Amino acid sequence: MREHSIGLSEACIGQEEERAVIEVLRSGWLSQGKKVRALEKAFSEACGLHAVAVGSCTAGLHLVLAGLGLGPGDEVLVPGVTFVATVNAVIYTGARPVPVDILNGLPHMALSAAEAALSPRTRAVVLMHYGGYGMDSLAWKRFADEHGLMVIEDAAHCPGLPGLGEHSAAAVLSFFANKNMTTAEGGMILTGDADLAHRLHRLRSHGMSSDTLTRAAGHAYSYDVDMLGWNYRMDEIRAAVGLAQLAKLPRYNARRRELTAQYRAELQEYAPWIGLPFSSGQAFAAHLMTVLLPRGLDRRCLMGEMRAAGVQTSIHYPMFHRFSWHKHFLGDISLPCTEDWCTRTLTLPLHPALSEGDVSHVVTSLARIGEQMGHA
């Protein structure tokens, strides 16, 4: 038995974050202010797009979909394999999410399935770059242009991935505690559309025409509300943590990619019965280390044995179209490749604080347990 168990993900917080939080707490200005603006500016300068900070990626997705005018009567294509938040954000607007099957053995939405799911009501498609592996944004843009659709990217898995928001209306990052960089809870919208960015800045704060900081500085006397907004703001404490995390993100992502390469090499050598989706060549933010188990293998038993070996594993994702609420809402639908993926997928620990020894322990445990279960 190992003295420490290996967790699926771990937030890497250091003195920089601690100092940043204390500085904000002592400053006397806690809610959305200069730190939030600074975090937006940092993202905006890094990617050459407009950036809008929000309280979570879920809030950001809702804000973008609402800001683009989607609502009752509209249909929005969503991937069959994603976190439930992607789908819920569509439902919040009153539009109907239409789940689309993925590629065979790869958790990215299939273009052919998207084409088959089109109806005269289809107005948008939400892409999800699973695990931090970017989809072919240009191919999806061509598809969307051909059918008059808007593209929105759920980029929760890919802070640091280049090209986000360049071929879409907007991309939304997540800074949840288990993502590549964190603010505990938080998100960032990236868009090249200045009008949309302006609208989103208003919508995230009740639709008000000026924010508290602007009024405190005497630049605005009062405010008007000319659209129905929400409170989807980020606060100064989180933004300060985000600035510290952003500075470390390139290092974190490089480490995640190194560990992914080690996983792939060792899995190929010691557990060749395990499927490795994605290729090692493509640009990626290495959010998840996901493998594909052989059909018929008892995953629940395997996960229990891995836990006994001190390794936490997880499933990305359980099928949302089978959740009780969503099954009731969406009706009975069949997505064969999604169902195959969701019953066979397994996510292994991946975060910058893992050591090479940790990765080897995960691989040898998996190889040993698989062998005991009849796979070699």
Ligand X SMILES: *Cc1c(COP(=O)(O)O)cnc(C)c1O
d(CA 60, CA 187): 7
Nearer to ligand X (CB atom), residue 253 or residue 365: 253
| Residue from 47, 81, 85, 189 in contact with ligand X (CB under 6 A) | 85
Q: Does 176 bind ligand X (CB under 6 A)?
A: yes
**Is residue 185 classed as helix, strand or coil in its secondary structure?**
coil
347 binds ligand X (CB under 6 A): no
CB atoms within 10 A of CB 231: 10
Binding piece for ligand X, criterion CB under 6 A, among 36-44, 54-62, 66-74, 97-105:
54-62
**With binding defined as CB under 6 A, does residue 345 bind ligand X?**
no
Question: Among residues 85 and 240, whose Cβ is nearest to ligand X?
Answer: 85
> What Cα–Cα distance (Å) separates residue 88 from each residue in 117, 297, 314, 374?
19, 31, 22, 40
Question: Which residues face 225 on adjacent strands?
Answer: 208
Q: Name the segment binding ligand X (CB under 6 A); options: 24-32, 150-158, 299-307, 334-342.
A: 150-158
Q: Give the type of residue at 109.
A: M
Choose, by CB under 6 A, the member of 83, 133, 143, 252 that binds ligand X: 83
288 interacts with ligand X by CB under 6 A = no
174 contacts ligand X (rule: CB under 6 A): yes
179 is catalytic: yes
Q: How far apart are the first and last CA of the chain?
A: 23
Tokens of 328: 């009731």
Closest CB to ligand X among 58 and 93? 58
Instruction: Kindly provide the residue ranges of all beta strands, DSSP E only, lying in 80-154, ordered along the sequence.
Output: 96-100, 102-103, 106-109, 122-128, 150-154
**Segment near ligand X (CB under 6 A); pick from 15-23, 38-46, 79-87, 233-241:** 79-87
Nearer to ligand X, 154 or 358 (CB): 154
Q: Does 157 bind ligand X (CB under 6 A)?
A: yes
**b/e map 328-355, b = 16+ CB within 10 Å:** eebeeeebebbbbbbebbbbbbbbbebe
Q: Which residues have C-beta within 8 Å of that of residue 128, sequence separation ≥ 6?
A: 78, 79, 81, 82, 83, 86, 108, 109, 153, 154, 156, 157
Q: How far apart are the C-alpha atoms of 336 and 67, rounded to whole Å?
A: 33
Residue 57 found at the interface with ligand X (CB under 6 A): yes
Q: How far is the CB of 13 from ligand X (least distance, A)?
A: 17
Residues in contact with ligand X, total (CB under 6 A)? 14
Q: Which of 56, 93 has the CB closer to ligand X?
A: 56
Give the separation between CA 322 and CA 99, rounded to whole angstroms: 12
- Round to whole Å and give the CA distance between 188 and 92: 19
- What is the enclosing helix (H) or strand (E) of 253? helix 236-270
Residue 154 within binding range of ligand X, rule CB under 6 A: yes
Give me the helix-helix angle, 236-270 and 356-372, nearest 10°: 50
Chain center to CA of 246: 16
Among 32, 58, 182, 347, binds ligand X (CB under 6 A): 58
186-205: contacts with ligand X (CB under 6 A): 187
Q: Judged by CB under 6 A, does residue 351 bind ligand X? A: no
Q: Which is nearer to ligand X, 57 or 125 (CB)?
A: 57
Task: Give the binding range for ligand X (CB under 6 A) out of 77-85, 103-111, 114-122, 231-239.
Answer: 77-85
272 vs 229: CA distance, rounded Å:
52
Catalytic residue among 35, 141, 179, 327: 179
Nearer to ligand X, 321 or 375 (CB): 321
Q: Count Cα atoms within 13 angstroms, Cβ side, for 58.
A: 11
Q: Which residue in the set 32, 56, 253, 260 belongs to the binding site for ligand X (CB under 6 A)?
A: 56
* Residue 113 near residue 100, CB atoms below 8 Å: yes
- Contact flags string 86-105 toward ligand X, x per CB under 6 A: x-------------------
For residues 52 and 85, which CB has a smaller minimum distance to ligand X in the complex? 85
Find the binder of ligand X among 32, 82, 93, 313 (CB under 6 A): 82
Structure tokens at 176: 């949840």
Q: What are the catalytic residues?
A: 179
Residues that bind ligand X in the complex, under the rule CB under 6 A: 56-58, 82-83, 85-86, 128, 154, 156-157, 174, 176, 187
